[in-house]
A and B are shown apart, each in its own frame.
Chain A
Amino acid sequence: MKPPPFEYRSAHDSAEAVTLLTEYGDDAKILAGGQSLVPLMNFRMARPSVLIDINQTQDMTHIHAEDGHLVVGAMTRQRVLERDQTAGSAVPLLPAALAHSGHTTNRNRGTFGGSLAHADPAAELPTVLVALGGELTVQGPSGKRTVPAEDFFLAPLVTSLEYNEILLSARLPRLPRGTGVRVEELARRHGDFAIVSVMAAVHLDSNGRADLVRIAAGGVDSTPIRLHEAEAQLSGTTLDDAGIDAAAVAAADSVQPTDDVHGSASYRLEMVRVLVARAIRSAITHQKEGHP
């Protein structure tokens, strides 16, 4: 279908976008890559009366490393991020996750910040942010604030952004050299939304004990969720088979999925258990293969 009528405004920078959001209030939506918002409008499931286009801005398009972190501007195209060497070496989970995020043509246009602000609980980028404990920087009329990922995503398509705030960028901790990462995703077809996804990052110290374990699941709750209990069980261990299997059970015990047309709650629980074990084992293999 065609989208309902709306008024179009183009912002030249993030400050102007905030001014326009404040002026139009709840009726306005930010238009970034449009890969989620425009389908919703074409289905008439979203009817914003004003769109504030931020595609002409320059100040939210950047990727850089600073103080042990990777900082990615919200308007960075997903395809650019996927292929960026600084991002790939600092946070190898990013390109691994983006490979599952829609198709090339979606990522050509779709933005890093757009996926985060859209907050689909099955989307890959929000799950990466939650897995690694990222932080989001948002700009409002009275200044900037920083929000931890686990406090940013509140419910499906709901974030802690106020109506007159815009997502500027997100910070992800740089993973230690040699960290193994893995994205395990169950979807009907490659590029579809995940029925269940599990992302893992594992680093072993020189004694073969895990000194970094990060695990999160997408598609199983109203937001992506960090699997803290499974992480705690595995941290400091040698990640033996029995330990991985027990942590996978703990992971499944810590989520409360619901039924939908794509899968029942019990199926999703079972898939969390299977995919957590698989992701940890594959991440260990990834580390041992000695990627940079």
Chain B
Amino acid sequence: MSDKHTITVTVNGHVYTDDCEARMTLADFLRRQCGLTGTHLGCEHGVCGACTVFLDDVAVRSCLTFAVQADGARIKTVEGLAEGDELNTLQKSFQENHGLQCGFCTPGMLMCATELLRENPNPTETEVREGISGVLCRCTGYDGIVRSVMAAADSRRDGVSESGSIS
């Protein structure tokens, strides 16, 4: 059974039109058809959270959404966080606070933390841990990640980085 669809999505401001089978996940469409391999696939069943992207401004697991469902949607991936060549406040904070480690979960952590800080600009450490609880870090080094998110909230509050908008 071959069920082909042609879809158009706007990813990080660029329009992509391509064919996909109905069963192609949004994650695979982003990685293969759009060449945006920043979105990682760990478990492919909605547990690890590495594939988290924004679908019409809401953070979702792109391994549990089919590409065909995203036809006409606006998507933001980890590649869309930086402003040109300049990392945003949250990304810089990950770099400065040892939030990356092996880097596999980083796209999921960044997208979840972006949504968290958008909804709650001054989270407590508990709220940060809760906010990233849907993303698994197999380096088991959550401390650096939590510190990175807290520091990003701090620096945005202090206005240290004028250019570094969170989303």
Contacts and interface: CB of A to CB of B under 8 A. Distances in A.
B46 A39 contact: yes
Contacts of B59: 104-105, 108
Contact of B22 (A39, A51, A104, A190): A51
Contacts of B47: 39
Given A7-B1, A8-B3, A104 B134 contact: yes
B78 interface: no
Contacts of A2: 23, 25, 28, 44
Contacts of B5: 8
B68 A8 contact: yes
Given A38-B64, A102-B134, 6 more contacts: A5-B3, A42-B45, A104-B131, A108-B59, A108-B60, A109-B55
Size class of B's contact patch?
Answer: 20 to 34
A258 B34 CA distance: 48
Interface of A: 1-8, 31, 34-35, 38-39, 42-43, 49, 51, 53, 55, 79, 102-106, 108-109, 189-191
Contacts of A42: 44-45, 63
Interface of B: 1-3, 5, 21-23, 25, 28, 44-47, 49, 52, 55, 58-61, 63-66, 68-69, 112, 115-116, 130-131, 133-134
Given A7-B3, A43-B45, A104-B115, A109 B130 contact: no
A105 B52 contact: yes
Nearest to B68: A8
A170 B55 CA distance: 27
Nearest to B3: A7
Contacts of A109: 55, 58, 60-61, 64-65
A35 B46 contact: yes
A211 to B, nearest CB: 35
Nearest to B52: A105
Contacts of B46: 35, 38-39, 106
